[in-house]
Structure 1
Amino acid sequence: MSDGTSLGDKNTIDRTQVFAVYNVYRLVIGSVLFALTLADTGSGLLSDDSALQMIGASIFIISSLIIALLGSPSKFTTESGIFGVMMIDVLATTLVADPTTSLTSGFTTLYLVTVAAASMLLVSRQLATLVAALTVLAMLADTLFIISRGGSETGGLLYAGLRGVLVFLVGWLGQLAAATLVQAAQRAEVASSQARRLKLFNDQIVEHMQTGILLVTPKDSLKPVNSAAKDLLMLESNSERPAKLVDSQLAMALDEWRNGDTLMPSPFKPDGGHRTLLPRFTTLESGREGDALLFIDDYTPMTQFAQSLKLNSLGRLTGSIAHEIRNPLAAVSNAVQLLAENENMSDGDRELANIVVRNTQRMNDTVSNVLELSRRVPPNLTQVDVNDWILGVVHEFKEASSEEASLTVTGGCTWPISIDKSQLKRVLDNLIDNGLRHSASATGQRAVDLHIGQSVVQRLCFIDVIDNGDGVPDSAQARLFEPFFTTRPDGTGLGLYLCKELCESNGAEISYRRTHDGRSSFRLSLRMQSRDAQ
């Protein structure tokens, strides 16, 4: 062991707590000695003149009470403070071990406790050794005084010397024990510090993961662990909630997993959400009945990637057949138009020619829409203010339209969105044009209302395109965005499908609904961004 343990090392041990325990010992031993002095019945343990024992016991009691009631631990756990207390205890023990008492009375063993405490509490080895040396000197002086008064033979010196050796041995063992405790405390502190850093590191990783993590209780309640879980499932707090109240589809997936019906649940879209999520469950205990972890991933990028693959395949297909279809189609259309210019053609033949022209045009529009889908480029996302952008879209639509139209914009959104303005403008142009046409068909007036709203909880911005038409029948709503599905005799069935594709490419969602007053509405749901997002 090195000559001196540094103050910082020794302070690894809670010296204040150790000193407090030692002070309690001082109070107890002083009280016991005082009680023995008062109750002495001539047993020979104490001297006939018990005044010195009374004084020694009183020093123990008074000093311990002063330290406990009036003293500050920081004052008495300094080197000088501890050394002073030890010297007081050496003096008190010397008084208790009255020279008129027997050397074998046992009171001198109190020195050993003082020396052991000094070795544990004093940082400096030199001071701890000095306490032991002064203690031995006090014992030897006590013995010599007894011998000088004829109270013992000179053999008492040998006995006192052996006890002196024991004092130094106790001091050395105390310092060794203190050093061992210091090392153990340092290792514990290092391990605790590493554990805290590792926990903080893990907490930061979990908190900033894009994967949502939730704790699943045996009663099928969900408790979010990180912010991503709340964001993906649109939860407002970290409180525990039954899975059925979080999302019905997620509760069904959990039930299937509990029953062992599936290893990998299917992706789902939360109630009222716009993103596709993929749940994954894992057990925390043996079996699926106890606590479990639920991992939620945003499956939208995978969906978009699959969409990109689909469009690439569609592009290769349409590119190979467009030439073969459009050229013959143009030849047929031109030939029929030339036939229709014949003045000798009957009205019935002319009507048949017009039917051919209309249907060739319809086929050409279908090919054009398919080519448009296949030639789509990735969106160029920019952050825009929804309110100003919508007003600009409406203004440009009115300027480009050859017919009068009533377009009203209401509401607003306080947060920006990130979109490809060109692609989303085409979506709105298509929806507005459809709405004006259906409104005119039902009421005779070309009127559409655009309402902007937001959901802070879901962090979504809504754009509703509302018309006064008859709306989409309930039986047709499930297939509304399928390709080549249309309710119009002259429709291609690709307009709304194109809108859906453009929305998904921009991370948005398009849906159809009825307003509270029964009007027909198409809603665009777009993710809100923070104002400082890039």
Structure 2
Amino acid sequence: MMQVAQIVGREDRETLWRPLQTFTVTRIVIVLVLLVYLGFNTTKGADEMGFHFDWETGVAYLVLSAVFALLSVYLQSRFMLQLLAQLTVDIVAITMLYIAAGGARSGLAILYLFPLAGCAILAPLLLALFFVSMVTLILLAESAYQVLHSTSDASSSRAGLYGAAFFAAIYVVNRLAAKLIKQEELAVRRGRELQLQEAINRLVIADMGDGILVVSRNSEVLAANPAAERMLGLSFASRQALAKLVEIPALVPIADAFFAWMARPAETSGADASAFVLIRPGDHLAENSGLTFDGRRDLFTHLKLRFAKVTSEDLPEGRTVIFLQNVSEIENQAQQLKLASMGRLTASIAHEVRNPLSAISHAASLLNEDITHPTQSRLLKIVSDNVVRLNRMIEDILKLSRRAHVNHEPLQLSSFLADIVEEFREGHSIAPEAIELVSMRNHRVRFDPLHLREVVLNLLSNAVRYASGRDGSIRIHAFSPVAGRIELHVQDDGPAITPKVRSHLFEPFYTTSSKGTGLGLYVARELCLNNDAMLDYEYRMDMSSEGMEQPIGRFVITFAVDNPL
């Protein structure tokens, strides 16, 4: 039963068709050589009738061999039937030539080795031994016939030796072929398992929420899953021309974190292989990088990066897998919880703190009317100044509680900013030329007017505090660096904020001024976030007062766009 199952199983084995085709081509070559051999014997005066019989048999054998070759190429079905037909024709043709040539003394018995070896490779052992037995019986029968007719050189031992040699050779060849077939079956099964596992891995990686980047040591992106493309706002359209992280300005924070991780000692690189970066998806794409902007409206993405090194003996330089997790949603949830707590806190502050402050301020004003001593007047002024500061801090905190009430109106940015600047000039007695509005096109953004007014006034107040006061010392510049994005820059000619201060700039209650509350910029950023915008302090290349290009700090508001013109 096992042998029958092997025979049936070979019907569907595609890889056996190639050996069968080789078998048919080899048969044609052997037949051609045999015909040449017969023609050579003709020149030596062989029997004419025997020659015609051998020649007709050889030509018929050649035609059938060509037919078998065509069938194995163009009709790849019923493998075992084709093999049995070819073996039967081989044995019949060789037997006819063998008997016509005089039997064992002709030396043609060696031709049987060709079909028997092919049968041992392509057929199960039982079938191969069957054909060997048939050939051995033919050889013995022909030898017995020669002995009965008292042929002088007739010998049955020669046929027995041929049969024994065929049995031994075919058994060895069949066992070797069986081992190769088992190894092939194992390789095919493992290959299918690997293909299935690879398909599962692709499905999991494609559908997982975390992004995956595979990069080389020089930060070249070798692969990316769809989640990573969505997070970065990029589409890796050309897999043959993937760019390096350092070549895409928007992804430079990821490259910096990657190189910082690579520079760490090997024993500590796995201890805390994570970092947090803030990027702007799709901003300032590198030319000829094979990457395209996918039209996302997201203004920024806060990512948690996790690094894992992949090494292999065949790949000495190794690869690094960067896992990207978008923590913006987590931050938004935390922000909602923070706002809820802030709302409860501000309600308590409004009731418990503002009334006592009003009483203290009123009492200080009454005392100031009756005091004439300079020292007492100075102390009362200190009390009044701190009351004003506390009251301003409370007002800033109360503004946070009003964040939930947003009116996303489409604003004409140029006219809106012109009105705010004019109001600010009059309220702070600033020269008209001190604040310069640069390149104000007809940009439209979606932003709550009251919130945007609060943000811009806060930034202008900071700028006035540090600007020189000369003409154009404060510049407000609105432009669109890429499609679907508008930026508003507010900068002054005062000293730039140091990187150390910048890292804490938007933290609540952090201030470098003795008169500040540390809540102005924090409130301004929170208002921007609530209007789908982003406020940050950035160093951009610009012309200095000396006419040289250098990085100059400025506050940058990135807006959500409403029908840009």
- Normalised by the length of structure 1, the TM-score is 0.65
Map residues 212-291 of structure 1 onto 2, 5 A cutoff: 212-217=212-217, 220-227=218-225, 237=236, 239=241, 245=247, 247=252, 249-250=256-257, 252-257=259-264, 263-264=271-272, 267=275, 269=277, 274=300, 275-282=302-309, 284=311, 290-291=317-318
Q: Which amino acid aligns with 2:455?
A: L
Distance (Å, rounded) in 1 between the aligned partners of 2:55 and 2:417: 107
Q: Which residue of 1 aligns with 2:188?
A: 189
Q: Distance in 2 between matches of 1:203 and 1:380?
A: 44
Shift of 1:196: 0.6
Change (3 A) 1:503 1:436: closer
Q: What corresponds to 1:333 in structure 2?
A: 361
Residue of structure 1 in register with 2:411 after alignment:
391
* One-letter amino acid of the structure 2 residue matched with residue 295 of structure 1: I
Structure 1 residues 367-446: aligned runs within 5 Å: 367-370=394-397, 389-391=409-411, 410-411=442-443, 427-434=451-458
Instruction: Give the whole-Å Cα distance in 2 for the aligned partners of 1:58 and 1:250.
Output: 78
- Give the drift of 1:226: 1.6
Equivalent residues of 2:409, 2:449 under 8 A apart: no
Residue 391 of structure 1: SS of its match in structure 2?
Answer: strand
Q: For 2:196, give the aligned amino acid.
A: R
SS at match of 1:103: helix
Q: Which runs of 5+ in 2 are unaligned?
A: 282-299, 426-436, 545-551
Q: What is aligned with 1:117?
A: 118
Are 2:492 and 1:494 aligned?
no
Displacement of 1:203 in angstroms is 3.1
Q: Does the C-alpha gap of structure 1 residues 454 and 111 become closer, same or farther in structure 2, counting only changes over 3 Å?
A: same
**1:17 offset after TM fit, Å?**
0.9
The Cα shift of 1:22 comes to 1.2
- The separation in 2 between residues aligned to 1:143 and 1:434, in whole angstroms, is 116
Letter in 2 for 1:85: Q
Task: Give the whole-Å Cα distance in 1 for the aligned partners of 2:420 and 2:528.
Answer: 23
1:194 shift after superposition: 0.8
Q: Does the 8 Å CA contact 2:413/2:443 hold for their aligned counterparts? A: no
SS in structure 1 of the partner of residue 213 of structure 2? strand
Offset from partner CA, 1:191-248 (integer Å, 9 cap, x none): 211111112222333445514333333xx44334323556667777555666754636
Task: Output the CA distance in 2 between the equivalents of 1:151 and 1:15.
Answer: 44
User: Which whole-Å deviations, capped at 9, do the CAs of 1:444-464 have from their partners, x for residues lacking one?
Assistant: 9xx9988574647xxxx6443
Look up the equivalent residue of 1:151 and give its one-letter code. Answer: T
8 Å CA contact retained: 1:100, 1:151: no
> Quick check: 52-61 or 20-29, which moved more?
52-61
Conserved? CA contact 1:431–1:465, under 8 Å: no
1: distance between equivalents of 2:419 and 2:148? Answer: 126
Match of 2:18 in 1: 17
Instruction: Please tell me the residue identity of whatever aligns with 1:256.
Output: A
Q: Is the 8 A contact 1:23 1:64 kept in 2?
A: yes
Distance 1:173 1:470 in 2: 91
CA deviation profile, 1:239-293 (whole Å, cap 9, x unmatched): 566675463623640452257676536735367674354353435159x994242
TM-score (ref. length: structure 2) = 0.62
Partner of 1:107: 108
Q: 1:431 Cα deviation (Å)?
A: 2.0
Structure 1 residue 102, shift from structure 2 partner: 4.0
**Equivalence map 1:503-514=2 (5 Å):** 509-512=534-537
Contact in 2 for aligned 1:366/1:494 (Cα 8 Å): yes
Against the structure 1 CA distance between its residues 430 and 81, is the aligned structure 2 distance closer, same or farther, given a 3 Å change threshold? same
Kindly indicate whether the alpha-carbon contact (under 8 Å) linking 1:9 and 1:182 is maintained by their aligned counterparts in 2.
no
Runs of 5+ in structure 1 lacking a partner? 414-420, 529-534
Say if 1:117 and 1:174, in contact at 8 Å, map to a contact too.
no
Contact 2:23 2:118 in 1 (8 A): yes
| CA distance in 1: counterparts of 2:405 and 2:145, whole angstroms | 102
Separation in 2 of the partners of 1:195 and 1:463?
Answer: 49
Report the equivalent of 1:203.
Answer: 202
- Please tell me whether the aligned partners of residues 99 and 145 of structure 1 are also in contact (alpha carbons under 8 angstroms): no
Q: What SS is found at the alignment partner of 2:88?
A: helix
Maintained 8 Å contact 2:361/2:384: yes
Distance 1:452 1:464 in 2: 6
Q: CA contact under 8 A between 2:103 and 2:143: conserved in structure 1? A: no
Query: Shift of residue 139 of structure 1?
Result: 5.2
CA RMSD in angstroms comes to: 6.2
Using the alignment, how far apart are the partners of 2:394 and 2:231 within structure 1?
A: 39
Query: What number of residue pairs does the alignment pair up?
Result: 497
Secondary structure at the residue paired with 1:192? helix
The Cα shift of 1:71 comes to 5.8
1:175 and 1:298, CA in 2 relative to 1: closer, same or farther beyond 3 A?
closer
Aligned counterparts of 2:392 and 2:510: Cα–Cα separation in 1: 15
Aligned partners of 2:364, 2:278: CA distance in 1, in Å? Answer: 53
Q: Secondary structure at the match of 1:14?
A: helix
Residue matched to 1:29: 30
Instruction: Please give the per-residue CA displacement for 1:442-500, whole angstroms capped at 9, x wherever unaligned.
Output: 899xx9988574647xxxx6443356x85664247945535446699976441211233
Letter matched to residue 430 of structure 1? E
